[in-house]
Structure 1
Amino acid sequence: MLISQQLLERPMAGGRPFALTALRHPTVSTLLADHRVLLADLLHGLGSPLHIVLPEIFEENVVRLRRAFADAGVTADILFAKKANKADCYVASAASLGLGVDVAGAPELVKALAGGVPGHRIGISGPEKDDALHALAVQHGCLVAVDSISELRRLAATARLAGRQVSVLLRSRTVGQPGSRFGMSAAEREAAVGLCAELADSMSLRGFSFHLNGYSTAERATAANEMIEHCLDARQRGLLAADLVNIGGGLPVCYVEPRLWDAFLAQDQPAHYHAAKDFKDFYPYGGQSATQAIRAIMAHPVDGDEGLAAKAGRHGVRFVVEPGRALLDQAGFTLYGVQQVDDRRDTDGYAIVTVAGSSFSLSEQWFSSDYLPDPLLISAQPTADELFPACVAGSTCLESDMVTWRKIGFPRPVRRGDHLVYLNTAGYQMDSNESPFHDAALPMKAVIRLGEGEAPPRWRLDGI
């Protein structure tokens, strides 16, 4: 059943340290409330940290995004951005729903194909791809985004050698981000369009794509409009198949109640973090949802009062979108076992909770930031309620290995043997940075689906 945003649990602000409680999908709430023994057994048997992945919620998100594009009056091919999570179960869900996958290298392409996604639903967007990846893309009929004229020539040679025609997008720099390392300048794009006309026997120019940083819906709509104009120009030059505009990813996810997020930002300061860590930027945890962003992008006026969706429809242009985080919203969480507690409340005013594992399994530090939604405490031996300020550290030898720099106001003292639950970690958090540092095994992923009626949840290891 599709779950609306209004049915998610919505926390209230209050207390110090600031309570920044995550929104929670009903399926997640059911697992945490009714199946704690199962989760504890899985953590004990499979090790800490343990990632719980929930493909049913991924599938709900696919339905929700498809509906949002349909409501906006546009045709959009959705490609799941594989880089957002390595779990095989999400690719299997994508294949079962007829969804495409966006990949950036041969290993991701092989996994997408092995998961049942046909080549014609796979987009390849990595910069300056090597010849081996080109050969796979040509063989399986993938859509290839090309970053330079030199890559375009190499890809054409590969297609010619294989006796096939490859479908391409030309990735172009936008007016708003001319310094991007991705894509072609205006002069390069013009030359590349001409080259596509010359090499029409081995490649078909299907349209244009771009790369943007950030979550500005106005900027993304403006960039998409630029690409529509490039399609129209290419058609005038005889390349009539140019009917696709890839708007990339960048669909935001709302992790916490927006009013709570605004209140958090208003009071935030370095003193609220271990070692007075001063972060300059955070993910917009309480901003727009993906569906709100889709509506804003498609309705954005680009030619006078005409919205982007209307212009695309008028010219027969279809959109390609590459959401990762938005399809993984609420579709997984991470469990850590508490290994030790250094209670410094008498001296520093807070404790340091050390978990079995590291911050490599919560990847926000890759962006020089902190993962801000509060972790949940599951106590092995519940104690009386008592505000317990603490930050959370990993068990490596790195001073910077802080899973949570921010001081969390746990509702009771944290003890060795307790469990911490980090919610909504499937999108980019749980495995982007994981490595076998200290010769530790990579954390496992347990795939869980709730049973029908009174049946218990079913679980398996991902990839098996």
Structure 2
Amino acid sequence: MSGPSWPTLPVLPDPATDAVLASGLIEELSYAFGGPFHFLLPDAFDTNLRAMREALDEAGVDGFVYYAKKANKAAVWIERCAASGAGVDVASVGELREALGHGVRGENLVVTGPAKGTDLLRLALRHGALIAVDALDELDTLITTAMTGTARPARLLLRCLPPSQPHSRFGMNHAELTTAMGRCVRAGDAVRMEGFSFHLSGYAIQPRADLAGHLVDLCLKARVLGLEASRISIGGGLAISYTDADSWHTFLSEQNSGHYHAGKSFSTADFYPYHSPAAGAGALRALLAAHPEGRGLSLAELLKDSGVALLMEPGRALLDRAGATVFRIQGVKDRDGYQLLTVDGTSLSLSEQWFNSEYLPDPHLLSQSADAPAGAWPASIGAATCLESDMLTWRKIPLPRRPRTGDLLVYPNTAGYQMDSNESPFHDLALPPKVVIDHTERARPRWRLDRHFT
């Protein structure tokens, strides 16, 4: 189809996903399930975890990685954490139970989230999990529970309200932290105050390094009071790159409302940074090399000199290239200069669309027709619901062949937050199953359904 040029956002090379697409397995699974599905690549998770540990080792920093379970509900990631000795970040009784059920040791769990209920605190105490305390009333509840309900001390971090984000609903300000430390001292052996944590929005390296440096100072002050204070947690916020720098900057400079169905427009500030100069383990390296504000030492040097360990809770960064989402096209409409496709699922399986944004990486078209005309066939992609706004992709994506009913669309790299943050059985449509794909020593990949407890 001839016409204007259309912005694209090609994903970075991913041999593992490409091998799955070339194997013929995707077509078979689509036929077997009769609807959309997700496939998971656990080897990528292992690779990402190993890279983060290597970054810590290279910097000579004592650290520990917790997988942020909220990023994807699949059980396979917890199984990988259990096998590798990694931790898991949980925020509910259900998440904690599932992590334990898949073999993660209680002391390798960190419990986050605001205003934790007594049932969650009691269960965390019983299994020796680390608890990120978000408020003074939560600290009081935890201390009371520890004194009356268990022989274990409460292992805790005090969460700091970022001075640069004073309106965040997470964390305690300076005065509250001072009060909290005093209460920990008075609680004696009932608590083990291991350090501090923070929740910081955004992906910029320097603000995270600055706040980490501040937490190191807090640890030193807490030690004067007799508290252990030997660890800080920086949470998540390690960006990943879906595409290369040129593609990302070109896309941002070219895209406009004419490139979207119904003239839809988006604020570029609301887009995830689909390219990051420092991504994944590279972002961790950059963070460790950064100098917190007013310091002559790098963060890594500051941590080593202070004897403070670095904890982190990445989600997306551990799931980079660890899965994709597959839909079948079940309807094609011709519009003025583009096509409007309807697939056999909903945008609830691509969560970015429900945050006033768009999941931008170009999907792969698996054409079922060898004679489908090649070229650039722009198409927007809607869902099989009765909602006008239920669009998987508002953007008119230039597909390499004319799309037809029965073709498959594979959205790449969706394991991090896209697959199930917002999924719902709307219209009584079944939730897409998750398929774990194993490449180990086999020419043709094997698969199994993920063993998620329900």
What does the per-residue CA deviation read over 1:91-119, in whole Å, with 9 as the maximum and x for residues that have no partner?
10111000000011111111111111000
| One-letter amino acid of the structure 1 residue matched with residue 367 of structure 2 | S
Contact 2:44 / 2:321 at 8 angstroms: preserved in 1?
yes
Contact 1:47 / 1:444 at 8 angstroms: preserved in 2?
no
| One-letter amino acid of the structure 1 residue matched with residue 329 of structure 2 | V
Against the structure 1 CA distance between its residues 249 and 362, is the aligned structure 2 distance closer, same or farther, given a 3 Å change threshold? same
SS of 1:253 mapped into structure 2: coil
- From 274, 283, 289, the counterpart of 2:279: 289
Q: TM-score, length-normalised on structure 2?
A: 0.96
Partner Cα separation in structure 1 for residue 14 and residue 82 of structure 2: 24
Aligned to 2:300: 309
SS of 2:334 mapped into structure 1: strand
Give matches, 1:121-140, under 5 Å: 121-140=108-127
SS of 2:125 mapped into structure 1: helix
Give matches, 1:168-247, under 5 Å: 168-239=156-227, 241-247=228-234
**Does structure 1 residue 361 correspond to structure 2 residue 349?**
yes
Displacement of 1:453:
4.6
SS of 2:253 mapped into structure 1: helix
Which ranges in structure 1 are unaligned for 5 or more consecutive residues? 1-14
What does the per-residue CA deviation read over 1:15-62, in whole Å, with 9 as the maximum and x for residues that have no partner?
8212211113211111112x12x2111111123210001111111111
Contact 2:324 / 2:410 at 8 angstroms: preserved in 1?
yes
**Does structure 1 residue 462 correspond to structure 2 residue 450?**
yes
- From 309, 317, 322, the counterpart of 1:326: 317
**Does structure 1 residue 342 correspond to structure 2 residue 333?**
yes
Q: TM-score, length-normalised on structure 1?
A: 0.94
- From 221, 241, 244, the counterpart of 1:254: 241
SS of 1:398 mapped into structure 2: coil
SS of 1:201 mapped into structure 2: helix
Pairwise CA RMSD of aligned residues? 1.2
Aligned to 1:95: 82
Partner Cα separation in structure 2 for residue 18 and residue 74 of structure 1: 42
Against the structure 1 CA distance between its residues 386 and 25, is the aligned structure 2 distance closer, same or farther, given a 3 Å change threshold? closer
**Does structure 1 residue 300 correspond to structure 2 residue 287?**
no
- From 54, 57, 61, the counterpart of 1:70: 57
Aligned to 1:163: 151
Partner Cα separation in structure 1 for residue 244 and residue 291 of structure 2: 29
Contact 2:350 / 2:359 at 8 angstroms: preserved in 1?
yes
SS of 2:401 mapped into structure 1: coil
Aligned to 2:387: 398
Aligned to 1:7: none
| One-letter amino acid of the structure 2 residue matched with residue 29 of structure 1 | D
Give matches, 1:4-43, under 5 Å: 16-33=5-22, 35-36=23-24, 38-43=25-30
What does the per-residue CA deviation read over 1:58-97, in whole Å, with 9 as the maximum and x for residues that have no partner?
1111111111122222121000000000000011011100
Partner Cα separation in structure 2 for residue 340 and residue 386 of structure 1: 20
- From 385, 406, 410, the counterpart of 1:421: 410
Task: Choose 47-56 or 414-423, whichever is displaced more.
Answer: 47-56
**Number of residue pairs aligned between Structure 1 and Structure 2:** 443
Against the structure 1 CA distance between its residues 301 and 445, is the aligned structure 2 distance closer, same or farther, given a 3 Å change threshold? same
What does the per-residue CA deviation read over 1:190-212, in whole Å, with 9 as the maximum and x for residues that have no partner?
00000000012211110000111
**Does structure 1 residue 446 correspond to structure 2 residue 435?**
yes
Contact 1:49 / 1:361 at 8 angstroms: preserved in 2?
no
Give matches, 1:34-53, under 5 Å: 35-36=23-24, 38-53=25-40
SS of 1:252 mapped into structure 2: coil
Which ranges in structure 2 are unaligned for 5 or more consecutive residues? none
SS of 2:375 mapped into structure 1: coil
What does the per-residue CA deviation read over 1:412-460, in whole Å, with 9 as the maximum and x for residues that have no partner?
1100000000000000001110011111111100100114153x21111
Displacement of 1:387:
1.9
Contact 2:48 / 2:280 at 8 angstroms: preserved in 1?
no
Contact 1:259 / 1:286 at 8 angstroms: preserved in 2?
no
Partner Cα separation in structure 1 for residue 353 and residue 407 of structure 2: 24
Partner Cα separation in structure 2 for residue 211 and residue 121 of structure 1: 19
Aligned to 1:268: 255
What fraction of aligned residue pairs are identical, expressed as a percent? 47
